[in-house]
């Protein structure tokens, strides 16, 4: 049976040839155009990034290697990473070998713990995670081999080594940050008998007699694994990596982007709104009360967090997966019941209002309520959990980009004066 890295070595020449032929045969074909609104609107909607790990379709949601995410919710994150990086699902023997490989690489260098302990006690947990990943850059196999002389077509090989090491160590680091930052007690050690996500859940120290929390974390990490390459964290990581910075530098940069309020903060903002509803009405409101509150919120110029999506025009299938988990595992939880009530009422209100292109919920509308139920009530930590998952996508994209020998990312910029002259045909 081929190992993960051996299988990549078989697949990469095939995929390189596909790209080579596309450039050779269709290099002059136009695939997109740019309007002034797009150029000044964050480049939204411009088709200019190659990303084979995943795509987001308006009527299907997240697609991982041509497989809708709704068909992958019973998988372990290790299987998802294997799929993201290689384009293939591993068989049972393959995934067992991959899990063992991650377990062997899970030990975190002692200096990382010292660095985290030395940081200010009120450091943001995302700053701590980014710093911890960055501090391990000295371990980079890519950096060492590149410095010694490495052929371009082999760049992907030490990149895989770095990716596996980062992925293997991240759960221990992220869990320790939670325990250290919020005074939850001593570090809990990695258990070689548990899977990657199960270990993360266990090391957080949440009481979990029936393993429900472990199941939630497995699902959560699968659902947040990747989201094309144009989102801030993936794009930042990709740009940094394109300069041949090693994966430690690239992932740390991507995490810094994920920490931004407009990217990774959404689930906690959604939960804050749900808690405000619960507190305002001293419990789960009736349909009529919630409908009026939703209308009042919209009329005041505010949005209802968690509803709407830049691409989707259907209910986010990631929302559906977590929503079903909630219905099956915590149907009597009052906060989750508010989420249910909002899901029943708010899309109707948004449809009646007629302004929202997408009145349906995205994944952030429910994820925070589930974490809250199991005792993760420190909102600033939610982006770390998001980061643990999204590291899979960043690493898989880095491996792919190196394997395809993609060039440095260097778009051309323009001035406002140039744009003004261009649109007015001024010489």
User: Which of the residues are catalytic?
Assistant: 263, 309, 364
Can you give the pLDDT at residue 1?
58
Burial of 407 (0-12, 13-18, 19+ CB in 10 A): exposed
Cβ atoms 233, 254 nearer than 8 A: yes
Residues listed for the chain:
427
Percent share of the chain, pLDDT over 90: 89
Cβ atoms 299, 268 nearer than 8 A: no
Mean pLDDT over 294-307 rounds to: 92
Mean pLDDT over 120-128 rounds to: 97
Separation between Cα atoms, residue 284 and residue 36, nearest integer Å: 46
pLDDT digits (tens, 9 = 90+) for 151-173: 999 999 999 999 999 999 999 99
Tell me the three state secondary structure of residue 67. strand
Separation between Cα atoms, residue 9 and residue 161, nearest integer Å: 13
Mean pLDDT over 242-261 rounds to: 97
Separation between Cα atoms, residue 38 and residue 45, nearest integer Å: 7
The model's pTM is: 0.95
H-state helical runs in 261-381: 266-280, 287-299, 317-329, 334-353, 364-373
Q: Would you say residue 358 has pLDDT above 90?
A: no
Can you give the pLDDT at residue 412?
93
Rounded mean pLDDT of the chain? 95
């Amino acid at each position: 049976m081929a190992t993960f890295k051996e299988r990549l070595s078989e697949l990469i020449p095939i995929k390189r040839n596909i790209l080579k032929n596309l450039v050779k045969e269709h290099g002059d074909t136009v695939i997109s155009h740019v309007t002034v609104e797009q150029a000044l609107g964050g480049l939204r909607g411009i088709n200019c990034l190659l990303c084979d790990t995943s795509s987001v379709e308006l009527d299907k949601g997240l697609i991982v290697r041509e497989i809708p995410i709704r068909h992958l919710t019973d998988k372990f994150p290790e299987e998802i990473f294997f799929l993201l990086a290689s384009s293939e699902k591993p068989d049972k023997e393959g995934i067992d070998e991959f899990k063992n490989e991650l377990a062997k690489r899970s030990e975190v260098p002692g200096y990382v713990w010292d660095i985290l302990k030395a940081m200010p006690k009120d450091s943001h947990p995302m700053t701590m995670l980014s710093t911890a990943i960055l501090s391990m850059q000295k371990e980079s196999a890519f950096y060492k081999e590149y410095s010694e002389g490495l052929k371009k077509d082999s760049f992907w090989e030490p990149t895989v080594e770095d990716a596996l090491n980062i992925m293997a160590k991240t759960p221990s680091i992220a869990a320790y940050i939670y325990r250290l930052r919020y005074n939850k007690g001593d570090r809990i050690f990695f258990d070689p008998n548990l899977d990657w996500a199960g270990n993360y859940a266990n090391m957080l120290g949440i009481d979990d007699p029936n393993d429900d929390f472990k199941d939630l974390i497995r699902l959560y990490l699968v659902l947040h694994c990747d989201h094309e390459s144009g989102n801030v964290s993936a794009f930042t990581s990709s740009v940094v990596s394109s300069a041949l910075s090693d994966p430690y530098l690239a992932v740390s940069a991507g995490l810094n982007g994920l920490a931004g309020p407009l990217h990774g903060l959404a689930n906690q903002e959604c939960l804050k709104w749900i808690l405000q509803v619960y507190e305002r009405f001293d419990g789960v409101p009736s349909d009529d009360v919630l409908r009026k509150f939703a209308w009042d919120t919209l009329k005041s110029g505010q949005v209802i967090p968690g509803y709407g999506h830049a691409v989707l025009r259907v209910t986010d299938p990631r929302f559906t997966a977590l929503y079903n988990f909630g219905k099956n595992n915590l149907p009597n939880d009052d906060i989750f019941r508010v989420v249910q009530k909002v899901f029943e009422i708010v899309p109707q209100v948004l449809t009646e209002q007629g302004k929202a292109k997408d009145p349906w919920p995205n994944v952030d509308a429910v994820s925070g309520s589930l974490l809250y139920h199991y005792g993760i009530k420190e909102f600033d930590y939610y982006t770390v959990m998001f980061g643990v998952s999204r590291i899979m996508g960043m690493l898989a994209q880095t491996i792919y980009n190196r394997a395809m020998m993609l060039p440095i990312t260097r778009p051309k910029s323009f001035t406002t004066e140039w744009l003004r002259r261009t649109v007015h045909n001024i010489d």
